[in-house]
Structure 1
């Protein structure tokens, strides 16, 4: 994962509402969750929720899929894995780490 992509994703997850949305979606699994469910579970006004979801979509952490009249938000587990790998490979690995 590129530094710019990782920074954008971490920035979006740095907002408490966006982190709560993403956490809820990850718990929902690969099928994601309808926007209405997110709104009810997190008690976020629709316009505010739309703004936060758009930011998560722009960062690549979430995709949206419409099924009839229902709009689903689907967590992108590959993007999440990319962030975790970025931290582990780029930030946590060091020849200087002591085992003492």
Structure 2
């Protein structure tokens, strides 16, 4: 991942509502969620949600697809993995004690590895 792409993704996540939307979509899994359901869960107005989803989409973190009359949104797990990899690529500088709980966190996240595509 290139620095400008990482900065855009991190900037998109640097807002409480957008971060809540992204985390909700990560939990929702591959099936995703319809916009109205996301708005209800996060507690934002539909027009505000639309703006947040657009920003997350431009950052490559969220995908959308039409399902009948609804637009369904889902987290882009590949992009999320690339961003996480970018953030820890140079972690620890060969000194694992610096990273503390990072290996345990990664192991816990691995429980979902088969869930993401």
TM-score of the two chains, using structure 1 as the length reference: 0.91
Q: What is the RMSD computed on CA atoms of the aligned residues?
A: 1.6
The corresponding residue for 1:94 is: 93
SS of match in other structure, 1:94: helix
The corresponding residue for 1:7 is: 7
TM-score of the two chains, using structure 2 as the length reference: 0.78
Kindly state the Cα deviation for residue 93 of structure 1 after the two structures are TM-superposed. Answer: 4.0
- Runs of 4+ aligned residues of structure 1 deviating over 3 Å after TM superposition are 97-100
The question of 1:50 aligning with 2:59 is answered no
The corresponding residue for 2:40 is: 40
Q: Structure 1 residues 99, 49: CA separation in 2 closer, same or farther (over 3 Å shift)?
A: closer
Kindly state the Cα deviation for residue 98 of structure 1 after the two structures are TM-superposed. Answer: 7.3
Instruction: Please list the CA deviations of residues 41-66 of structure 1 after superposition, one character each: whole Å capped at 9, or x if unmatched.
Output: 11100110000000000000001100
Give the number of equivalent residue pairs. 98
The 1-side partners of 2:76 and 2:26 are apart by 9
Query: Unaligned 5+ residue runs, structure 2?
Result: 99-117
Instruction: Please list the CA deviations of residues 61-96 of structure 1 after superposition, one character each: whole Å capped at 9, or x if unmatched.
Output: 001100110110111000000011001114x2425x
